[in-house]
Chain A
Amino acid sequence: MLRPASVIAVLCAFAMASVVSAEPLHREIDRLIAARAGDVPAARPADDAEFLRRIYLDLAGRIPSVQEARAFLDDESTDKRAQLIDRLLASPDYPRRMQEQFHVMLMERLGDHPEWQKYLRESFAANKPWDQLAREILGGGLQDGQPKGAAFFYAKRLENYGQNPVDYPGLTRDVGRLFLGMDLACAQCHNHLFIKSYKQADFQGLHAFFQNTFLAGGLNIGEKPTTQKLGFQSVFKKEPLETAPRVPGLPELELPAIEKGKEFIKAPDPKTKAPGVLRFSPLAKLAEQLPTAENAAFSKNIVNRLWWVMLGRGLVHPLDLHHADNPASHPELLDLLAKEFVEHKYDIQWLLRELALSQTYQRSSVLPNAAEPPSPALFLVAHEKRVSAEQLLHSMLEATGERANVKEGTALDQLQLKFLRAFANPRREPEDTFNPSLKAALFVLNDDTVLGWLNPKSGNLAQRLADLQDADKLAEELYLSVLARRPTGLEKQEVAAYLMKKGDQREQAIKHLAWALLASTEFSVNH
């Protein structure tokens, strides 16, 4: 279903890219992707319905409502995709979606806190630049006027877990992975055995920022004065080494000589548990030094992650293994994204918009006619992305027409817990790939929650379908509501035949039809 307009757009993009260099980023993306692809055939452009569902899931965190789907598919304006992208970025769904996405990415199901959620929601509603977000999170909310919720990133990781001691190496590892794209875990005890650039000194230097941090209670992060370098040695070479706090790639911090007893500007208050303010705070230094334009790892990590959010696979893959022997699939593109992102002042909405406008994003997930599917790293076919527990909940509510019946607050929170139990990964497992689980299947198969939504109630999907006597109309309403597309002729026939076969068991037939769509792979992934 190639629409002439998009073909022309593609042709124009290629033609112009060769002469003009100051192209919008989305054209540059397509140019660089095409350059690398050579003769390998790409998937056709996504049709309107594929695009519609994908962009809603990515930017609004849910599938479109049946009205939204109908309106978009019937809209004949040529720039309707760009319009929709802008509409979604401006919608109240967007900050919620980003809140959920960044919560899952940064906390990896370790835990949750209302202040953290509020912080994320407000930050994305204000389109806060990424460097500022990173500064606030890495600063641990120690400075006056910093949003408290940001401290949860540290607070949760500085908790004792059961009887285990605080996992400081785990915290170090997470900061390296999530903010620099470097999993330094193996460099804790020795230089990394396979990755030349991951040195034990990098791990230990980063670790030294956190050695004196502690959880003072609630979301209060405390720091004890850092007066000495951190000693360490390799398990292979017993030779004492030491390092001051150091961001990988930067020089060590100079530890200032501060007279004993004068370490604090504001002393800790044991009564209020306020942790005090240090004259020399490693966390403040980390927040100052890590999220900067000069630190290439910082910008490359985040553009790679935002690319992954939209495209389903990192240019550098896995996301936390940026190093010389694991180069980006498109190194120039990664550099370009990083450079432009910095020039646009870490504007997340801007980058997401450019990614969404690219033809690369707007490819179908249907394979091109070729003997071999193209390598995933070429980005010539849309990746089928995981749908998070949160996206799934919002989408199921939308599909079944039950959204109006669930109030924000307790009811929604309880549903969310159920969905997390069924669909989220265990703690610390990044949710970066589609991995269906048995407990998820059993939930969809037999839990009362989803099945209950398929009983007719005023205005919900089952009721709307029950009211439609014409089988074709029923099929269209069903497919548009659940899969955000119109049924094919064959699918209409199948619906009609099944309804006919079930005779007077119509309510049950509708329930089975709707359930089958909800349980289908097509619904379960973002394709």
Chain B
Amino acid sequence: MNFSRLCTPNEHLINRRQWLGGTAAGLLGLACPTLADELKKKAKQVLFVWLDGGLSQLESWDPKPNTQFGGPFRAIPTAVPGIQVSELLPRTAKQMQHLAIVRSLCTKDNSHSAGVARIQRGDPKNRGVTYPFFGSAVAKWLGAGESGLPPYIWIKPGSGGFIPEDAGFLGPKYGALALGDGKPPENLLLNKSLTEADDIERNELRAKLDQRYAEQRRREVVEAQQYIFDMAAQLRKHRAIFDQSTFAPKDVERYGSHEFGRHMLLARRVLEAGVRFVKVNSYGWDTHGDNFNGHANLVPKVDQAFASLIEDLADRKMLDNVLVVMMSEFGRTPRINGHIGRDHWPEAWSLVMAGCGVKRGVVVGKTNNLGTYVDGPEHDIGHLFHTWFKALGVDPQNNEYDNNRQPLPIAHDDCQPIAELLS
């Protein structure tokens, strides 16, 4: 029997003033107040790069050249002596002094449909509830901050809109604002029949009506309505962020003029604007056939944009406060199949992270000589959720969700932070 989005009996009680899509609420009210106040000063942010499908660890962070399953690519040295990565990552190799590689991932799901959500929800113990994605969780714990923008922005190819599903039991207001193709929400720009002066004038007329209507009525309704109109105005004020035509040509060249490059450049802007959590998706990481040409095509684009962004965050001193994670749903099989492809492999794979108190220039964990299994302690996604939360100042030991009186740990109860990753 499958489990639907269950165990949210009181969810109707939650005031669903969700962000776009459904509803709206005071963004500053999103996070639990005391913690939010404390964290606001530090202004921690997250960049979460999701390579949808599976990046081959052997063609990226854990190369095994000249071994049975190693494939054709060489390993190259990085800025940190003793650490090598695949030759498909030459630019990122030069940023290794900022990065931490984890080579000991061992997760539990190798099916696509379940994998994305399972990993991004941190694969907690099944208590019959749908956990939030990492982005929604961070939105909940750290709030929107003072950017005037939503706390969780998702830059992705394809369609956009508000994605409430990511929020799970937290309720739709913690969902993601997806910028499909990096574009702003529909109807954000002023209708072409209107001037800025028109817009101010008509909204003054509207505000006057609302004020009069509100005078003798319960406050909530008018306030919620006013809030979303203010938010619309705020977002439009920030519309320059979404205008990709104003990217500096030099930056476009560095990040790459391809889709992922532009989206990562947009991510930098959105982070600079103070958005709490930015997710960037790249699709097509499913090389069951022709794995090596596939990676030779896909990885360099990621290398270019990722290395540029790390370099920029470091230059801007943002890396102290921005947690960067780049990962997939799973790794790929060491065994090379009959289609010269690699299949799904959750048993032993890698990810890369940086910033926000994560140790710099380190590799944590290792696989055996053939790269088939983890050699030493294995790390599930739950360990990483503990690590990330801890890096963000939300210690899973001291914080838990309150799902209408049902206390829930924020990360898998049997996992702990990976101490070697945290400085």
Contacts and interface: CB of A to CB of B under 8 A. Distances in A.
B122 to A, nearest CB: 20
A173 interface: yes
Contacts of A433: 12, 15-16
Interface of B: 1-10, 12-13, 15-24, 112-113, 128, 161-162, 164-165, 172, 185-191, 193-194, 198-199, 201-203, 205-206, 208-210, 213-214, 216-218, 221-222, 224-225, 227-229, 231-232, 235, 405-406
Interface residues of A, number: 66
Contacts of A520: 206, 209-210, 213
B1 A169 contact: yes
A318 interface: yes
A429 interface: yes
21 contacts: A162-B113, A165-B2, A167-B2, A173-B6, A188-B6, A189-B128, A194-B405, A365-B217, A366-B216, A426-B165, A429-B16, A430-B12, A433-B12, A437-B228, A438-B24, A440-B228, A441-B231, A446-B187, A446-B194, A521-B210, A522-B210
B213 A437 contact: no
A360 to B, nearest CB: 17
A435 B16 contact: yes
A443 B229 CA distance: 11
Interface in A421-472: 425-426, 428-430, 432-443, 445-448, 451
Contacts of B22: 425-426, 429, 435, 437
Contact of B206 (A235, A440, A516): A516
A182 to B, nearest CB: 10
A176 to B, nearest CB: 11
A321 B209 CA distance: 37
A384 B113 contact: no
Given A188-B128, A438-B235, A440-B228, A451 B193 contact: yes
B162 A439 contact: yes
Most chain A CB within 10 A, of B19, B188, B190, B225, is at B225
Given A188-B3, A193-B406, A366 B217 contact: yes
B225 A521 contact: yes
Interface string A99-132: 0000000000000000000000000000000000
Contacts of B208: 494, 516
Interface stretch (A19-27, A135-143, A295-303, A507-515): A507-515
A162 B111 CA distance: 14
A435 B223 CA distance: 11
A105 B309 CA distance: 47
Contact of A516 (B186, B205, B217): B205
A524 interface: yes
B228 A384 contact: no
Contact of A173 (B4, B187, B203): B4
A185 B6 CA distance: 5
Interface string A490-527: 00001000100000000010001101110111101101
Contacts of A517: 209
B191 A446 contact: yes
A508 B10 contact: no
Contact of A186 (B9, B21, B224): B9
Contact of B213 (A164, A168, A381, A522): A522
Contacts of A448: 191
A162 B114 CA distance: 11
What are the nearest 9 A-B pairs in CB distance? A435-B23, A516-B205, A163-B113, A318-B12, A170-B4, A442-B187, A438-B20, A185-B6, A516-B206
A500 B229 CA distance: 27
Contacts of A445: 187, 190-191, 199, 229, 232
B218 A169 contact: no
Contacts of B206: 515-516, 519-520
B136 to A, nearest CB: 14
A320 interface: yes
A481 to B, nearest CB: 15
Interface of A: 162-165, 167-170, 173, 183, 185-186, 188-189, 192-195, 235, 318-321, 365-367, 373, 381, 384, 425-426, 428-430, 432-443, 445-448, 451, 494, 498, 508, 512-513, 515-517, 519-522, 524-525, 527
Given A163-B112, A186-B128, A438 B228 contact: yes
B213 A515 contact: no
A163 to B, nearest CB: 4
Nearest to B111: A163
Contacts of A319: 12
Contact of B13 (A194, A318, A447): A318
Contacts of B165: 426
B191 A169 contact: no
Given A185-B7, A520-B209, A522-B213, A439 B161 contact: yes
Given A185-B6, A235-B128, A440-B228, 16 more contacts: A165-B2, A167-B2, A169-B1, A189-B3, A384-B217, A426-B21, A426-B164, A432-B12, A434-B221, A435-B17, A437-B20, A441-B231, A442-B186, A451-B191, A520-B206, A521-B214
Contacts of B172: 426, 429
A114 to B, nearest CB: 26
A512 B20 contact: no
A335 B222 CA distance: 34
Contacts of B202: 512, 515-516, 519
A133 B23 CA distance: 32
A430 to B, nearest CB: 6
Contact of A320 (B12, B113, B164, B210): B12
B23 A436 contact: yes
A445 B19 CA distance: 17
Given A185-B6, A194-B405, A438-B235, A443 B12 contact: no
Contacts of B229: 441, 445, 519
A319 B231 CA distance: 31
A137 B303 CA distance: 56
Contacts of B205: 498, 512-513, 515-516
B381 to A, nearest CB: 20
